[in-house]
Amino acid sequence: MKAISSRFFRNQRKDRSRSLQAEPNRAPAAYRTVVAANALFLALIFIAAGFWLINLNNTRTETELAHEAKRLKTSYEATQNELEHQLTVLAGEIAADAGVIRILTLAAQAGPEDFAGLHNELHHYLTPRWENFKQTADIKQMQVVIPGTISLLRLHQPDEYGDSLKGVRHLLNKVEETLLPQSGFETGRAFSGLRGAAPILQKTASGTKRHLGTVEIGIQFDGYLSRIGRQTGVGYGVLLKPGPATEIMWEEQQPVVDGPEGNSRVLLLTASRGELAGWLTGGKLPRYDDKFSNGLLAEHGRIFQVIRFPLEEFRSKFAQAPPIGSIVIWQEVGKLIEAKRRYQWEAAFYLGLAYLLAVGLTIFILRLSCREWERQLAARADELARLSRQKEILLEAMGEGVYGVSLDSCCTFVNNEALRMTGFAREEIIGHDQHALFHHHHPDGSPYPRSECPIHKTMQDGLFRSREEWFIRKNGDGFPVRLTAAAVEDNGSINGAVVVFRDIAEQKHEEEELLRLATTDPLTGLANRRHFLEQLAQEIRRVERSGGSAALIMLDLDLFKLVNDSYGHAAGDLVLQRFAALIRQTLRQIDISGRLGGEEFAVILPDSDLTAAMEAGERLRKLMEAEIIISDANEIRITTSIGVTPLHPDDKTPDKPLSRADKALYAAKYLGRNRVESR
């Protein structure tokens, strides 16, 4: 081993000398390679950083636009809800007016011939209120209908009345159905917009309320959207789907501006600014599929954020119905987009500058370090040789056996402790098959296939293994070892293994002795109470699982206390030992006997029924009855009482069979002792 090590270190020093001589020619090429590799690596880092910054900026801009879209949508919906509430309040005020109730009471009692007169009277009565609402609240629609959803008066089109709106105007139908105020967007024959409606109710003499009709007040989107557009500087518009809108509207009320929307057309109901009409007719609106959308639209050097979400008609509150159109909100975001682009160009410029500085700094540092690397190279080679010598000394000083194995299972090195434990000389192991030398058999003498050897498996899969094994010394004696095998890798390939082992024969002996002490009664050598109960529990489970038979015998020496009192405890111990010997001699090898305590013993008889157990108990009783025990020249005779019970399938724990056997034992005692009883 020392000769091999000496040759290794001499060759290593020669190789180092040759490398130092060749280094001046190789250093420039290596230096250029390192510089190029660092430049490429830094370029990849800065490119990745640039993409990350651009992505971060894009994400930040998208998040800002998404938050702005959500804010505008929420603000619009809150304003619309408030407006619907105000319309409902105004409608409620008209519905509660005494004059309106009086005229509607007459209408409920009149015939068709009086309809025109009541229409004119109601028109005359409500006109002042209508004019006031138009001037102060920008109201564009006001209507009164009577039960059956018959239009009695349209103040916005007074010449159109008497038509039925049943099945056409769901909001009015819902008020008549529930007698509760309602509000929402709805298209009508003469008007499309936000509406609020309230029932006209008359209290009867019986205390109930009679429905006389409904008041509806509406506001068009154009004035409402223009107002909030001026306040916010944002554009608002309403687009309708042609089918649902035009089916109900009178022709003169239908929108005239339309544009493409997928495979169909879409109508412009109103817009607060002119851009939407141009986008619609030019087909420039971002794609929309009846869901909330948030996109960008570029036109004439300007960039707009276009937000679009469904416009639900009133009936959608109570039934599944597709949206009748959509709300469009747009605002110019050119400054935000320009700021994003400017940030990206600035980021690219500064990252490029930082890259050039980093490369220059790297080259400067490498040039300063080059000479230091050359100086350290020789020092590291000497340090490596010194560490190798130290490891060799440490290997020999270990208190455990260590040896190396090549892929062909031959030993490559071995320390002195391994030689001492196996009894082989170094030359008898180095270069020879270690498995065939001292690892070829199991403790029982059966052959140990190489494929099952943990050392062989470790060299196959590279896994660390630690387990108990059996080695054979040169003289043929075997001994147990704790073996650890670890793969040796070179450039990612396994080229052998290192094995560490130690003799654990003394440890195994101590473990066996501890196990014996923990499970055996020290006086009789039989199983102690705890171990016997564990064995009984296992037998109960076996009987329950397999359905076989087994029995339990309990034995107690009769009048044992008199032996101790008359002859002393030493004589009593001798009696107990002799009784235990008779049990071992009489019973089968598969039977399990134990001392439960004092002079009480028990036996488990596997695969035995009650008859066989009674016969075994009787044999023991007769043998003990005939036994003469000599102690200090004293002849001691003693008998035993025995209780027998079979194990039952429903015995889940040892308690039940022990209780039965104990009762049988005490029955034997009660009936005169020196007998066998069963239970």
Same structural domain, 673 and 534 = yes
Same structural domain, 276 and 131 = no
**DSSP, res 136:** H
Same structural domain, 215 and 227 = no
Residue by residue, DSSP assigns 239-273 as: EE-HHHHHHHS-GGGS--EEEEETTEEEEEEEESS
Q: Cβ–Cβ contacts within 10 Å for residue 542, how many?
A: 15
CA distances for 530 relative to 512, 540, 597, angstroms = 17, 15, 11
Straight-line distance from the first to the last Cα atom of the chain, in angstroms, rounded to the nearest whole number: 76
CA distances for 536 relative to 124, 464, 531, 550, 661, angstroms = 108, 41, 9, 10, 13
Q: How far apart are CA 166 and CA 504, in angstroms?
A: 100
Rounded to the nearest 10°, the torsion over CA 438, 441, 444, 446 is -160
Let me know if residue 384 belongs to a domain.
no
Provide the b/e sequence for 504-522 (b: ≥16 CB within 10 Å).
beeeeeeeeeeeeeebbbe
Same structural domain, 215 and 231 = no
Let me know if residue 50 belongs to a domain.
no
Counting other chains too, the contacts that 498-502 makes at CB distance below 8 Å and 24 or more residues apart are: 498/402, 498/403, 498/404, 498/405, 499/401, 499/402, 499/403, 499/404, 499/405, 499/434, 499/455, 500/400, 500/401, 500/402, 501/400, 501/401, 501/418, 501/421, 501/469, 501/471, 502/399, 502/400, 502/401
- Angle (CA) 470-472-475 rounded to 5° is 155
Rounded to the nearest 10°, the torsion over CA 491, 496, 500, 501 is 160
* Cβ pair 258, 266 in contact under 8 A: yes
User: Which amino acid, residue 394?
Assistant: L
| In the block, residue with structure tokens 């230091």 | 372
Q: Are strands 592-597 and 600-606 parallel, antiparallel or unpaired?
A: antiparallel
Distance from the Cα of residue 421 to its chain's centroid: 52
Q: How far apart are CA 677 and CA 526, in angstroms?
A: 23
- CATH number assigned to the domain comprising residue 457: 3.30.450.20
Same structural domain, 195 and 262 = no
Residue by residue, DSSP assigns 511-547 as: HHHHHHHHHB-TTT-SB-HHHHHHHHHHHHHHHHHH-
Let me know if residue 495 belongs to a domain.
yes
- Please report the pLDDT score of residue 451 as a whole number: 87
Provide the b/e sequence for 203-220 (b: ≥16 CB within 10 Å).
eeeeeeeebbbbbbbbbb
| In the block, residue with structure tokens 């390192």 | 34
Same structural domain, 270 and 411 = no
Beta strands in 81-208 (DSSP E): 141-146, 150-154, 182-187, 192-203
User: Which amino acid, residue 458?
Assistant: T
Residue at a domain's end among 332, 356, 388: 332
CA distances for 596 relative to 524, 531, 555, 666, angstroms = 11, 10, 10, 16
Same structural domain, 496 and 632 = no
Residue-wise pLDDT tens digits, 470-505: 999 989 888 999 999 999 888 888 889 999 998 888
3-state secondary structure 395-450: HHHCCCEEEEEECCCEEEEECHHHHHHHCCCHHHHECCEHHHHHCCECCCCCECCH
Same structural domain, 209 and 230 = no
Let me know if residue 591 belongs to a domain.
yes
Q: Are strands 478-490 and 150-154 parallel, antiparallel or unpaired?
A: unpaired
Let me know if residue 361 belongs to a domain.
no
- Residue 271 corresponds to which tokens in the numbers above? 């817009």
Let me know if residue 357 belongs to a domain.
no
Residue at a domain's end among 477, 509, 541: 509
Phi, psi of 308 (to 5 degrees): -140, 135
Q: Which helix (H) or strand (E) holds 62?
A: helix 2-95
- Please report the pLDDT score of residue 21 as a whole number: 44
Let me know if residue 547 belongs to a domain.
yes
What lies within 8 Å, CB to CB, of 328 at 6+ separation is: 235, 236, 237, 238, 239, 271, 276, 285, 306, 307, 308
User: Which residue range is the domain that position 579 belongs to?
Assistant: 520-678
User: Which amino acid, residue 393?
Assistant: I
Same structural domain, 475 and 588 = no
Show the low-confidence residues of the chain (pLDDT under 70).
1-28, 30-31, 244-246, 252-253, 256, 374, 377-378, 381-398
Nearest in space to 65 (alpha carbons), one of 285, 306, 291, 302: 306
Count of domains for the chain:
4
Q: How far apart are CA 188 and CA 578, in angstroms?
A: 115
Q: How far apart are CA 552 and CA 253, in angstroms?
A: 105
Helix-then-strand count for the chain, H and E: 18, 23
Residue at a domain's end among 332, 360, 390: 332
What lies within 8 Å, CB to CB, of 86 at 6+ separation is: 137, 196
Residue-wise pLDDT tens digits, 630-639: 888 888 999 9
Q: Which helix (H) or strand (E) holds 316?
A: none
Burial of 37 (0-12, 13-18, 19+ CB in 10 A): exposed
- Residue 50 corresponds to which tokens in the numbers above? 């640039």
Let me know if residue 48 belongs to a domain.
no
Q: Are strands 640-646 and 550-557 parallel, antiparallel or unpaired?
A: antiparallel
Q: How far apart are CA 192 and CA 252, in angstroms?
A: 12
Order of strands across the sheet that contains 192-203: 150-154, 141-146, 209-219, 192-203, 182-187
Same structural domain, 626 and 530 = yes
User: Which amino acid, residue 510?
Assistant: E
What lies within 8 Å, CB to CB, of 37 at 6+ separation is: none
* Cβ pair 503, 420 in contact under 8 A: no
**DSSP, res 600:** E
- Residue 45 corresponds to which tokens in the numbers above? 């880092």
Q: How far apart are CA 330 and CA 233, in angstroms?
A: 10
Same structural domain, 575 and 498 = no
Same structural domain, 211 and 230 = no
> Computed over its alpha carbons, how large is the radius of gyration of the chain?
53
CA distances for 331 relative to 227, 301, 313, angstroms = 15, 14, 25
